Amino acid sequence: MPRSLYDTDLDPQDMRGAIAAFPDHLADGWGRGADGVGVDDDVTGIVICGMGGSAIGGDLVRALSAEDSRVPVLVNRSYGVPGWVGASTLVIGSSYSGGTEETLSAFEAARQRGARLAAVTSGGTLQEKADGHPVITIPGGMQPRAALGYSLGVLLRVFRDSGLLDLSDDAFLTALGHAKQRADAYSEDDRTNLAREISGALEGTLPVVYTGPGLMEPVGMRWRTQIHENAKHPAVGNVFPELDHNEIMGYEAGPADVLGRMEVLALKDTDDHPQTGRRFDITRELVARTVSGWRSVASEGESRLDRMLSLIQLGDWVSFWLAMRKGVDPTPVETIQNLKGALAG
C-alpha cells in the first residue's frame, strides 16, 4: 500500500488548507483591489514597499506588467526609499500584519518626501499611518506567505484597472479556474502528484532553483523562500543568462560532497528568450554529471498570469510535501520570531 505522507499532527494549523485556498484568496483579493487605489496619469513611478511574503506579490505584478506599464515599478525591501521618490510617485505599503518595521520606516520616509500613499494590510500600525489615504484591507490570521493570493489579487486588479497591465476579466477567470484545478491535484497525498514527487527528489539535497529573467525570476524566489519557511530547508538559486557569466564556474572544481547533493530545478517558460532556452540546455550538459540531479519544469497555461500561477502553486506544494517528508510543521517560523524579539529587545 502506498505510504501516506500527510500527518495532521505535523500540520495542526492547517498549512495544507491555506495553500489549497490560494485560488479563493486570489479571487477575493481581485475583488478587494477594485476599491480605492488608482494610478493617476501624472504618476511617474510606483514603489511597493514590503518584506517577505508581503513583498512577493509586488514582485510578481512587476514582472507581469513589465511589458504594459507606462511607468517604472520598484519593489522596495529597505528602511528607506530611493532619492527619486517624490510628489509624482505612488508608494504602496504592503505589510500583512501592518507591523513590519522596514515597511513602516519606508512608508514614513515616503510621506516625508511628499509621495502619494496607499496601503495593503490586514490592519495594525500601517493602517493607522495610512489614515486619510487609500487602504485596501485583507483578512488577518494567516502567515504572510500564505496570504499571497490576497496581495497578488489586489495588486493585479489595481494595475489592471489603472491601465498598467493587460489582463481581461476572461483571462483572469480562466487562470483562476486552472488554479483551482491545480490546488485539487497538488493537495492529493498520492504518488501521481507531481509536487509530492518533486519533494521526494529534494529530500536530503540542496535545491538550486534556476530561471530565466523576467516573468519567472520572482517565481524562482518564491520557490526558494517557501522551501525555507515551510520545509525549514536551505535552497539557493540564480537567473540565466547572468549565472553563465560566473556561477557556472563553481561547478568546475567545487567540493564533490557539496556538488553531489545539489538538485537543480530549472523553471522554464515560453516567454524565455531563445538563447536563454539554449543556455538552460547547454548548462545542463556541462554540469549535470557533477550534481545530484537536474530537473526541468515548464510552466503551463493560456496567459502569462496562468503560466506564472502554474509554477507558483507547484512550488508552494513542493515545499509543503517536503515538510511532510522531513517531519516538520510547515507553519511556525520560530527563528524569524526569535530574531524579531531580539531586535525589539
Please indicate, yes or no, whether the overall pTM of this predicted structure exceeds 0.75: yes
pLDDT band at 2; cut points 50, 70, 90: low
CATH for 276: 3.40.50.10490
Same domain, 319 and 205: yes
How confident is the model at residue 40, as a pLDDT?
85
pLDDT band at 235; cut points 50, 70, 90: very high
Report if residue 178 sits inside a domain: no
Angle 123-129-130 (CA atoms, 0-180°, nearest 5)?
A: 80
- The arithmetic mean of pLDDT across residues 324-342, rounded, is 96
Whole-angstrom Cα distance, residue 273 to residue 241? Answer: 10
Q: Is there a contact between 236 and 264 (Cβ–Cβ < 8 Å)?
A: no
State how far the alpha carbon of 298 is from the alpha carbons of 86, 215, 265, 267, 277, in Å: 41, 13, 10, 6, 11
Q: pLDDT, tens digit, for every residue of 14-68?
A: 999 999 999 999 999 999 998 778 888 899 999 999 999 999 999 999 999 999 9
Same domain, 320 and 203: yes
Same domain, 307 and 226: yes
Report if residue 105 sits inside a domain: yes
How confident is the model at residue 345, as a pLDDT?
82
Q: Is there a contact between 137 and 113 (Cβ–Cβ < 8 Å)?
A: no
Q: How far apart are the first and last CA of the chain?
A: 52
Cα 279 to chain center, whole Å? 24
Same domain, 137 and 203: no
How confident is the model at residue 51, as a pLDDT?
98
Whole-angstrom Cα distance, residue 323 to residue 338? Answer: 21
Q: Which of 157, 141, 140, 130 is nearest to 57 (CA)?
A: 157
Q: What residues does 118 pair with on adjacent strands?
A: 92
Same domain, 198 and 151: no
Domain region containing 221: 192-326
How confident is the model at residue 1, as a pLDDT?
41
Q: What percent of the chain has pLDDT over 90?
A: 96
Same domain, 308 and 259: yes
Q: Which of 207, 263, 250 is nearest to 232 (CA)?
A: 207
Q: pLDDT, tens digit, for every residue of 75-95?
A: 999 999 999 999 999 999 999
Final residue of a structural domain among 167, 183, 209: 167
- Cell numbers given for 50: 514590503
Report if residue 92 sits inside a domain: yes
Tally of structural domains, the chain: 2
How confident is the model at residue 3, as a pLDDT?
78
Same domain, 196 and 163: no
**Positions marked active-site:** 229, 245, 340
Same domain, 199 and 157: no
State how far the alpha carbon of 51 is from the alpha carbons of 93, 209, 216, 273, 336, in Å: 10, 21, 19, 30, 13
Same domain, 315 and 203: yes
Instruction: Answer whether residue 316 shows pLDDT above 80.
Output: yes
Report if residue 17 sits inside a domain: no
Q: pLDDT, tens digit, for every residue of 188-230?
A: 999 999 999 999 999 999 999 999 999 999 999 999 999 999 9
How confident is the model at residue 271, as a pLDDT?
95
Report if residue 175 sits inside a domain: no
Same domain, 143 and 198: no
Same domain, 163 and 269: no
Report if residue 240 sits inside a domain: yes
